[in-house]
Amino acid sequence: MFVLPILISLIDAPGGGGKLRHVHLPKKFHRVKSSNLQDFIERYDEYLEGCGGGNKCTKCRAGSWGDMDGGGNPWMYEKRDSPYYGLQNYTCHMCTRHFCTENDCVARCQVCDRAYCDDCVILVECAKCRLKVCAMCQGGGMGEDKRNDDCGGGWACEACIDDYDDRDVVPPDAAMVVSHS
C-alpha cells in the first residue's frame, strides 16, 4: 500500500486545497482494511470537507450531502463492515463534480463500484435481477440485449442470460430499464 503515503502527502501539502477531487482505490484495498487505509479515509474526508463546494448538489442545487453511509461521514464510507468501505461518496467518477443522492443525481455501478452522474453515464438495470451496471461494464461482456416478440426483451446481465439460455429470451416480466439511482 505504497500509494497511501503519497495520497496523504497530497492532502497534507500546504496550499494543496482542492486539487485532489476524487480517489478510487483498487478493490484489494477495500478488502484489507488496514489502519493505514482507515487513517487515509479519515484524513481525506476532512480534506474534502475543508475544500468547500457549498454542500449543494451540482445538478439539482437542492440536495446536500447526507448521511449516506449511516456513519456520519458524508464523503467516504468509513464503516469497515460496509461493502463500500473506502469508496468516495457523492462524486462522479468521470467529471469529478459533486452530487447528492436525494434526487437521483448520482448512482453507483454494482460491478465496478464507480459512481456516475447521469450527465456522464446512465446506468442500465438488468431486466430480471435489477443489477445496475454502467456502460463500461455493460459493454465489457457483462450482458446483452435479448429481444423477442412476446416480452419486448430488455438488457440482461450474463447471470440472468445463463439462466434463460435454453429459451434464448429474457423472462416475460423483463423490460429495458434505464436508471439514474
- Lowest-confidence segment of 89-98, 136-145, 167-176 by average pLDDT: 167-176
Domain closes at, from 80, 106, 132: 106
Is 90 in the same domain as 159?
Answer: no
| Tens-digit pLDDT profile for residues 36-67 | 888 888 888 888 877 755 567 888 877 665 54
With a pLDDT cut of 70, the percent of the chain lying above it is 71
- Say if CB 119 and CB 111 are below 8 A apart: no
Grid cell in block for residue 100 = 447528492
Residue 155 included in any domain: yes
- Rounded-to-integer distance, Cα 154 and Cα 144, Å: 8
- Rounded-to-integer distance, Cα 101 and Cα 66, Å: 8
The closest alpha carbon to 167, from 143, 140, 146, belongs to 146
Is 77 in the same domain as 157?
Answer: no
The closest alpha carbon to 60, from 123, 90, 104, 121, belongs to 104
Burial class (CB in 10 A: 0-12, 13-18, 19+), 172: exposed
Range of the domain at 86: 1-106
Residue 54 included in any domain: yes
At residue 12 the predicted structure's pLDDT band, cuts being 50, 70 and 90, is: confident
Residue 116 included in any domain: no
Task: Domain count for the chain, please give it.
Answer: 2
Please give the model's pTM, rounded to 2 decimal places: 0.72
**Type of residue at 30:** H
- Say if CB 174 and CB 154 are below 8 A apart: yes
Is 32 in the same domain as 57?
Answer: yes
Residue 113 included in any domain: no
At residue 151 the predicted structure's pLDDT band, cuts being 50, 70 and 90, is: very low
Is 126 in the same domain as 91?
Answer: no
Residue 23 included in any domain: yes
- Rounded-to-integer distance, Cα 24 and Cα 112, Å: 10
Average pLDDT, the chain: 74
- Rounded-to-integer distance, Cα 42 and Cα 28, Å: 19
